[in-house]
Structure 1
Amino acid sequence: MKNEKILELDILKTFAIVFIVLCHMDNYVVNFSVFGLIDSYLALAGLSLFFFVSGFAMYHNNHAIYTKRDIFRFYQKRIYRIYPLYWMALIVHVVVFELLKINPGNTSPYNIDFINFFVHMIGFQVFFPSYHIQSMWFIGTILLCYFLYPVIIYYSKNSCSILITAIFLIIPFAVLKLCCNLMTTDFFVYYSIFIWGVLSRKINLFDTLWNNKQMFLEAGFLTSIFLYVFCNLKLICSNDTWIISFVLQNTFQLLFPIVSYMFVKSLSFLQDERIISPFSSIAYASYSVYLFHHPFLSTLKMILTSLSITGLFADFSLFFIGLPILCLLGYTITLGYSKINAHIPKYWLCRNSQFK
């Protein structure tokens, strides 16, 4: 399996981060009430794409895990890629929301005490849902997915064994949830989507669908039906039908990334290098954009208010000035750290070359 770059993944990742940031814009804007109505659906779509693409790209780039040393090297690379920028973002959150006391917008005030900060520093917020920093649950969840991934691949020889191993490894976490009320519920939802991404790459699902257009159209039709029914249930259902809503939501989350990928693949003009370049840049910056978007938008909102820029003009400034600057800032941070990170893993691996 060659590790050639898959352009469609960059486009999906771009849509994912755009959906996520837009779903949080109702924290900062006051004249676009529509975001308050659709933010949960934007979050649902964006997070589904994020975790699916993460699983798909993970297997595409890291499918050869045959020894314990391969597992070790995988962990080492993930640690260097994730933690330093994540720690930087946590410090920025503390400075912006605890020291400077900048208004976080239409959301609960931040309460980053020492224990909360420590739990997040080590990435254990996925185990302790009572400790909360807005949007940082995602990092704990994806870290646990990455921790389990090489173990799943190491002990699996085919698609069926990947699925069985993934289910087997999640049992202890389900016990923690049921018996100790630990673990965030979101982990179980998005872990399944992550594994779905892994399996989709393993079985070359997209190639199969691309060669069978009728199957693709049927999947798109089913996704539309599930989305329509789910949206209506969210509006009218009572607590008695939460199971139906849950099943429909998860079915949609599994189908939506597949249909999105096939739709993007069908747009031939997106293969043009001049068109794909902005998508690739935003996809490249997406992790930093996610980490820093809350403190950045809150700070920008504070600056606009201090300049007596409020109302509709402030909202437009956040959208059409703030969001492009946020993407540029995310790209700059990612590029700068990548240049530093490029030299660290090689040195560390040399010192641990005896690990088997």
Structure 2
Amino acid sequence: MRERTDYLKGIAILAVMLGHWFGFYFKGDDNFIGGNGFVSIFFFLSGYGLYYSLGKIFPDRQIHPKGIFQFYIKRINRLYPLYWLVFAFRFATSSTFRGSASFLTFLALDFTSPVFLWFIPAIVQCYIISPLLFSVTRRYSFVSALLGSFLVVVILNFIAPIVHIPSVRVWYYRDVFLGHIFLFCLGMFFASSVKQGREFRVIGHPFLWGFLLIASIVLQRVLGPLDQVYPSLVDLLFPLAASFFCISLMQSSCSLPLVKLLTPLGMSSYGLYLLHPVLFHKIHEVVGMPTVESLIMLSLFPFFVFFSKKIEELVQFEQVLRLKDIVFNRLHINKA
């Protein structure tokens, strides 16, 4: 199953990078290729993966403060070191970023007007509710959770404009209020159904659901918002298409195309997400010609994937503490 989830992450990060590449180098819409839509895979798989992480901390499903503290420490160690490294680089090299960034941006808690990597504050919101969500997963089947959460999302999307929730991606993913939370919940409830032996089975080949996911992304772009206030039916069905695509591919035994390309990308997806804008900007500053920049990017890409994975591993707090111990031990030996 791990290979399948890495493969899905690979699809998502490749779409994101292609979208940013198209928008950055050719001055087009960075969502033209639909990379933003494929971020839905990350939200779903985050819920799926965190269910198992929480299961190790709370094997009896009894939520307690010590376990919650342990969970959040692990999430901080996973999320923030590389994020802070990229933040520091941007802060040091961009006067525009220095003028717009705040302490909430540094903490990835800017939920009103994020100016830096909107996905990180959005996933932090998912992390915040994870222990509570985990505690109720056993009570409901996947179908019950899907129908119930879909109904809640529909109701909230009628309430949100009334109370003037900021119209930013941290709250409105793909024009759906809390659309990312909805995807995250479905991922966690699906993992619960698998763990309990009540796995929900998706009918249809993964390529069919992949086509429907792409079709929903295209329809959202072509049709645009049918209503300036409330999401359209296509907007509301998009998270379902994304979730069913993930589930169908995870359950299928079909051979995966481009597996040797996409699986390594998925394994390095977080580092690639944070670091690829830095690489794009630097290449653009040095070269300044879109076609040449693209050729350079393609030639550097294998090294960039390897570098992203290694630097992500290096800056983890656990690795830093381990390196500190090694240095101090060597200094102590030398003194002795």
TM-score by length of 1: 0.71
Aligned to 2:333: none
Deviation track 1:159-207 (CA, whole Å, cap 9, x = no partner) reads 2697779999xx9999898536456323711110011111111123995
Aligned to 2:294: 315
Q: Distance in 2 between matches of 1:202 and 1:342?
A: 34
1:120 maps to a residue whose letter is: T
Deviation at 1:226, TM superposition (A): 7.2
Superposition RMSD on alpha carbons, in Å? 4.0
Change (3 A) 1:172 1:228: closer
Change (3 A) 1:119 1:268: same
- Could you tell me which of 22, 46, 60 is aligned with 1:26? 22
Matched, 1:124 2:114: no
Aligned to 1:95: 92
- Could you tell me which of 77, 81, 84 is aligned with 2:78? 81
- Could you tell me which of 129, 136, 150 is aligned with 1:148? 129
Q: Distance in 2 between matches of 1:181 and 1:322?
A: 42
Q: Distance in 1 between matches of 2:236 and 2:79?
A: 27
Deviation at 1:123, TM superposition (A): 1.7
Matched-pair contact (CA < 8 Å) for 1:216–1:259? no
Deviation at 1:281, TM superposition (A): 3.4
- Could you tell me which of 182, 187, 192 is aligned with 1:202? 192
Aligned to 2:98: 112
Matched-pair contact (CA < 8 Å) for 1:22–1:39? no
Q: Which moved more, 1:328-337 or 1:182-191?
A: 182-191
Matched-pair contact (CA < 8 Å) for 2:138–2:192? no
Change (3 A) 1:240 1:122: closer
2:35 maps to a residue whose letter is: L
Q: Distance in 2 between matches of 1:233 and 1:51?
A: 19
* Greater per-residue helix proportion: 1
Deviation at 1:27, TM superposition (A): 3.4
After TM superposition, the structure 1 = structure 2 runs for residues 118-267 of structure 1, keeping only pairs within 5 Å, are: 118-126=103-111, 128-129=112-113, 131-133=114-116, 136-154=117-135, 157-159=138-140, 179=163, 181-182=165-166, 184-186=171-173, 188-204=178-194, 207-209=199-201, 215-217=203-205, 224=211, 228=215, 231-232=218-219, 234-236=221-223, 239-240=226-227, 243=230, 246-263=232-249, 266=252
1:317 maps to a residue whose letter is: I
Q: Distance in 1 between matches of 2:103 and 2:204?
A: 46
Deviation at 1:14, TM superposition (A): 1.0
Matched, 1:16 2:1: no
SS in 2 for 1:216: coil
After TM superposition, the structure 1 = structure 2 runs for residues 252-291 of structure 1, keeping only pairs within 5 Å, are: 252-263=238-249, 266=252, 268-270=254-256, 279-291=262-274
1:184 maps to a residue whose letter is: W
Matched, 1:39 2:27: no
Deviation at 1:73, TM superposition (A): 0.9
Q: Distance in 1 between matches of 2:98 and 2:235?
A: 32
Aligned to 1:107: none
- Could you tell me which of 61, 68, 81 is aligned with 1:71? 68
Change (3 A) 1:16 1:209: same
SS in 2 for 1:209: coil
Deviation at 1:255, TM superposition (A): 1.9
Change (3 A) 1:297 1:206: farther
Matched-pair contact (CA < 8 Å) for 1:94–1:112? yes
2:291 maps to a residue whose letter is: L
Matched, 1:325 2:318: no
Change (3 A) 1:152 1:41: same
1:112 maps to a residue whose letter is: R
SS in 2 for 1:66: coil
Overall identity of the aligned pairs, in %: 17
Equivalent pairs, count: 306
Q: Distance in 2 between matches of 1:341 and 1:200?
A: 32
Matched-pair contact (CA < 8 Å) for 2:51–2:188? yes
Q: Which moved more, 1:198-207 or 1:84-93?
A: 198-207
Q: Which moved more, 1:286-295 or 1:61-70?
A: 61-70
Matched-pair contact (CA < 8 Å) for 1:155–1:165? no
Q: Distance in 2 between matches of 1:91 and 1:38?
A: 26
Deviation at 1:150, TM superposition (A): 0.7
Q: Distance in 2 between matches of 1:206 and 1:281?
A: 31
Q: Distance in 2 between matches of 1:153 and 1:312?
A: 48
Deviation at 1:279, TM superposition (A): 4.3
SS in 2 for 1:333: helix
1:248 maps to a residue whose letter is: V
> Structure 2 stretches of 5 or more lacking a match?
326-336
Q: Distance in 2 between matches of 1:37 and 1:336?
A: 30
Aligned to 1:298: 281
Aligned to 1:49: 41
